[in-house]
Amino acid sequence: MFRRFKVTSKVRESRTITSFQLQPVGPQGWRAFEPGQFFVFKIPVRDERGHVLRNYSISSPASRTGRYRITVKRETAPVAGVPDGAASCYLHDHVSVGDELLAEGPRGEFQLDRTSSRPVVLLSGGVGLTPLVSMFHTLAHETERRVYFIHACDNGEVHALGEEVRELAALRHGLTLHVCYRFPLAADCAAAAYDSVGIVTADVLRRVLPLDDYDVYLCGPPPFMQGVYAALRSLGVPRHRIACETFGPATVLEEPEIGQVHQPAEAPRPAAQKRRPRAARSRTAKAAEAATTATGHAIMVEFRRSKRSVPWEDARSLLDFAEQQGLKPDFSCRAGVCGSCKVALLEGEVAYVQEPLDPPEEGSALICSCKPRSSIVVDL
């Protein structure tokens, strides 16, 4: 259910990025969240519905109760003839202190594993640092784990929350910050505001990270995600140790074919510019045995239109499972928000991992957020 939040402060973090502090209006409006989670916002812009849904990560510490912070990049059109980002521009240009916004959440599975004692690598590109800043607060204040925060962006003009992260890194021994600028400005050089020039490569990771078994959290735009994921894999980091917020199918992080370029989709998104959080992992990283029903029979998934029937293996969702079979279902948000992934459920039952914002009608399923409860047949 959407709740009302009052904007209590609006802070310019860089040339393109602004933070909004939000306080719940209702007496029961506050809900605890895990570092990495996001809110779904209903933004009143001109379209056929009168609003768009956008998801933005919470960048504030999870220990700070009573209010939340989101940090949003103003998305301008990359080329002429393409519209600016409707939601981000509305927030930047029209929302002021004292205004109210409608939001639902917190949501999302891209969360800091608080049970782990392994050292942590936080890898962010651009405004992808927002959920990782929330994680860094928890790691710095509530654990003794070693943490390496590696952030990449163009230069100091677009580097958001930089001072906050530097102050966190100075809190205790075992917290390391490495900043990589692609195009440092003269002011950046004078202030010694960065540690390396260019992009985050396997060489950079080798120099910064001692050999160890890390939990890795990765977030940023598609080229950054793809390049850094490949670098991590080349260094031997297992897939199941890399948790990501992706801009599309799981395959977006695997090596593309020659000439193939992955483009981000314009869609309802978890976090500023980001799609639903998920862990990148392959079929080989999943349980080898097929799931079974209470009677001991294997759960089968039939993709009717594709004329394919396969035993269910553990996957984050039916959408992920379909992608593993080489299918390309429609989707946008991967968060049970937009309804783009809805398909006809011809037989069987599904269970929702996370309740969708707008539950589908009887006989349909949002495959991005459900798993089969029994053998099923879907119109896909």
Q: Which domains does the chain have, with CATH numbers?
A: 3-107 (2.40.30.10), 120-283 (3.40.50.80), 286-378 (3.10.20.30)
Amino acid letter for position 352: Y
Q: What is the rounded average pLDDT for all residues in the chain?
A: 85
**Residue 54 contacts residue 41 (beta carbons within 8 Å):** yes
CA–CA distance, 291 with 61 (Å, rounded to integer): 38
- 303-351 pLDDT per residue, tens: 999 999 999 988 889 999 999 999 988 876 777 777 778 999 999 999 9
Stretch 161-169: mean pLDDT: 97
Q: pLDDT digits over 186-238, tens only?
A: 999 999 999 999 999 999 999 999 999 999 999 999 889 999 999 999 999 99
- The model's pTM is 0.76
Residue 3 predicted with pLDDT over 70: yes
Task: Tell me what pLDDT residue 258 has.
Answer: 31
Q: Does position 5 have pLDDT exceeding 70, yes or no?
A: yes
Higher-pLDDT residue of 82 and 6 is 6
Find the DSSP H helices in the chain: 86-94, 130-142, 162-169, 186-191, 202-208, 222-234, 318-324
- Is residue 148 predicted with pLDDT exceeding 90? yes
> If you average pLDDT over residues 146-156, what whole number do you get?
98
Give tens-digit pLDDT for 65-102.
999 999 999 987 654 554 567 899 999 999 999 999 99
**Alpha-carbon distances, residue 180 vs 155, 194, 201, 273 (angstroms):** 8, 6, 10, 20
Give yes or no for a contact between 151 and 129, defined as CB atoms under 8 angstroms apart: yes
- Residue 287 is predicted with a pLDDT of 37
Residue 356: the pLDDT is 82
Which pLDDT tens digit goes with each residue over 319-331? 999 999 999 888 7
Does residue 172 surpass a pLDDT of 80? yes
281 has a pLDDT exceeding 70:
no
At 371, is the pLDDT very low, low, confident or very high (cuts 50, 70, 90)? very high
- Which pLDDT tens digit goes with each residue over 240-249? 999 987 644 4
CB 290 within 8 A of CB 313: yes
Weakest mean pLDDT among 22-26, 122-126, 229-233, 263-267 = 263-267
pLDDT of residue 270: 38
Q: From residue 35, give the alpha-carbon distance in Å to each of 56, 188, 340.
A: 13, 30, 27
Contact present, 268 and 85 (Cβ < 8 Å): no
Q: What per-residue confidence (pLDDT) applies to 254?
A: 59
Report pLDDT digits (tens) over 17-59.
Answer: 999 999 999 878 899 999 999 999 999 886 666 788 888 999 9
Check residues 357 and 12 and name the one with the higher pLDDT.
12
318 phi, psi to nearest 5 deg: -65, -30
